[in-house]
Amino acid sequence: MPDAFHSTRAFVLETPNLLLELLKEADAGGIYQLYSDWKVAQELRRIVYPFSQADASAMITRAQQSFAQTSGYILGIFLKEHAAFVGVNALFIPANDEALSAEERAEDAGLGILGYSILPDHWGKGYATESSVRMIRFAFDELGLTTLQASIRQGHGASRRVIERLGFRVVEAGIEEEPTYGGPAHIVDRYWLRREQWNSAPTE
């Protein structure tokens, strides 16, 4: 149930170099730049492509709605220095998603689904890792989730490096997933991180 905390739009998580903030309309340009880039979109199952300015605005509206419902934390990643937008880190909580059936929600109790995307100009600077460490801490310590999940295409070396460094382990390999934008299915591995494993994960 949304509470006073979740009805506020100002929501920020901090790391040494980054601020993770709930998306707002002013971020539409950055969101468009991120997801209209095929290098980014091709790895994402749920993104439409081509991705338009209207899609960027719709994503921001969805981010604010899912935040109010506590079913999603779709956060912009900003450099503390210069306040530049560099990407998105997202946590979805299916058990709080009112669009799912009661059975589906019960099955997913305690589960969070992690996602991240960084503007290509900023790849390789550690931002996906640094922002995800903070999101994981939020998920386990502040939301009380028990398992985090991520699905990564088998050939996607950079994202596999990120998720494995965060402590996630493969629980199911070789799953076919059809991207929203069409074309051949992706062959992905599903990864999990359990809260009890998190103690041995890296620090910020």
Ligand X SMILES: CC(C)(COP(=O)(O)OP(=O)(O)OC[C@H]1O[C@@H](n2cnc3c(N)ncnc32)[C@H](O)[C@@H]1OP(=O)(O)O)[C@@H](O)C(=O)NCCC(=O)NCCS
Q: Which residues bind ligand X (CB under 6 A)?
A: 40, 43-44, 116-118, 123-129, 152, 156-159, 161-162
Residue 192 CB, nearest approach to ligand X (Å) = 14
Nearest position to ligand X, beta carbon: 157
Residue 189 CB, nearest approach to ligand X (Å) = 10
- 46 versus 62: smaller Cβ distance to ligand X: 46
**Smallest Cα–Cα separation from 192: which of 138, 148, 159?**
148
- 35 versus 138: smaller Cβ distance to ligand X: 35
Sign of CA dihedral 159, 165, 170, 173: positive
**Smallest Cα–Cα separation from 90: which of 144, 20, 34?**
20
- 84 versus 158: smaller Cβ distance to ligand X: 158
Residue 129 CB, nearest approach to ligand X (Å) = 3
Taking the C-alpha atoms of residue 114 and residue 116, their distance in angstroms, rounded to an integer, is: 7
Residue 115 CB, nearest approach to ligand X (Å) = 6
Angle between helices 157-165 and 127-137 (to 10 degrees): 40
What tokens appear for 67 in the block?
């935040």
